[in-house]
Amino acid sequence: MKKVLALVLTLTMILALCTFAPAAFAKEDKYVFKLSHVFAPTEQLTVEMEMVADRIRERTNGAVDIQTYGSSQLAVYKDNLQQVVDGSYWIACEDPSYLADYNINFEALIAPMLYSNLQEYSYVCQSDLVKALCQDIEDNYGIHVLALDFNVGLRCMQTNKVITTPEDLKGMKIRVPNSSMYINLMNAMGGTPVPLPFGETISAVQQGVVDGLEGNMNAYSTNGSAEVAKQMSFTNHLIGTCGAYINIDVWNSLPEEYRDIIQEEFTAGAAELTKFTDDNFQSTMEMLEKEQGCHFNDVDVDAFRAVMQVEYDRLVAEDGVDPDFIPALQALVKEYDEAHPAA
């Protein structure tokens, strides 16, 4: 009888171990991701992504290892998103306009002259309007949005000429990324867009191939453009921002506790980068004035906004943006501004 009881107990223990082994094994798994973006090592988004990855690694005891690759070392732009769609263990960090291949309204989300500060945009990203947009690309293409607002600053003109109205841009050749959004934007603003890889841009300004470029304050101070373009005109024509995207099936395969940690850290990272961008704007401008001999000027914002209506109409008529989408964004911006009047 004792032998029978011992055998039963042994079988029970074996069954118990078999039952709980998979869950224990899942917690011991290591999940390795590649995170790709175009930003240089000196740019703050690169620094922030590395900090996010470090915190996730620490909080998961190394179980989630996000390896960051900047400076276009790996796939970027459309190819970056394709890795996510294909189901790779991959996190793409790209401008939300690249999501327009999957839902065209993303092109309008960061349409020119919509935002006058970073907080307006982050507020819009948390709206039901944008959450529905994100749900659409998750349901139809498997792209899960971790964040849309790693904000690196409002983009401005960087030339050697004071620009205050669209008229001042006429006849000027301005380097832009090879993206239809930037090309159409520059045409609407009155300049002549010249698509170039950034690696060719500084020499192109030096040689007079282009008359300048456009970008944000942080990049102006770190990527060499302040050495060749001494005037920044505060057109604030586009929000400089990136999102982070992961495949939904890959996301759902992670233990819930790891998903919570990853989401918390990407949300915190976006807020940190936005705060850093705001907090360092004035000091960076003063440093560039003192050390690089740069100059800064305000512009006629209403004049630039007036010419953008043509671009808004084109987005609807040619690209297929929902005609109600941009007015809905403008209403959200107004809602934020009314709740947060300027001090």
DSSP letters along 189-203, please?
A: HTSEEEE--GGGHHH
Q: How far apart are CA 122 and CA 126, in angstroms?
A: 7
Residues 6 or more apart whose CB falls under 8 angstroms from that of 297 comprise: 162, 163, 164, 231, 232, 233, 234
* pTM as predicted: 0.87
pLDDT given at position 5: 42
Averaged pLDDT for residues 228-242? 97
- Name residue 240's beta-bridge partners: 153
Collapsed DSSP state (helix, strand, coil) of residue 250: helix
Indicate the domain borders of the chain.
30-339
187-211 residue pLDDT tens: 999 999 999 988 899 999 999 999 9
Round to whole Å and give the CA distance between 9 and 12. 5
For 282-305, the three-class secondary structure string (H helix, E strand, C coil) is HHHHHHHHHHHCCEEEECCHHHHH
Q: Examine the pLDDT at 177 and tell me if it is beyond 50.
A: yes
Using H for helix, E for strand and C for coil, what is the string for 136-153?
A: HHHHHHCEEEEEEEEEEE
Q: Which has the minimum average pLDDT: 11-15, 257-261, 288-292?
A: 11-15
Sorted by sequence, the CB contacts under 8 Å of residue 62 that are 6+ apart come out as 30
| Confidence band for 9, pLDDT divided at 50, 70 and 90 | very low
Mean pLDDT of 279-293: 97
Mean pLDDT of 301-313: 94
Q: Using the predicted structure, report yes or no on whether residue 265 has a pLDDT greater than 80.
A: yes
* pLDDT per residue as tens digits for the range 83-111: 999 999 999 999 998 999 999 999 999 99
Identify the pLDDT of residue 28.
Answer: 54
Instruction: Give me the pLDDT at residue 65, please.
Output: 98
pLDDT of residue 4: 42
| CATH number for the domain running over 30-339 | 3.40.190.170
Beta strands at 90-94 and 31-36: parallel, antiparallel or unpaired: parallel
- Residue 26 pLDDT greater than 70, yes or no: no
Our CA dihedral for 120, 122, 126, 128, rounded to 10 degrees, sits at 40
223 alpha carbon, distance to own chain's centre: 18
CA–CA separation, 202 and 265 (whole Å)? 35
State mean pLDDT over 259-268: 98
Q: What is the mean pLDDT of residues 14-37?
A: 60
Per residue in 42-64, pLDDT (tens digit) is 889 999 999 999 999 999 999 99
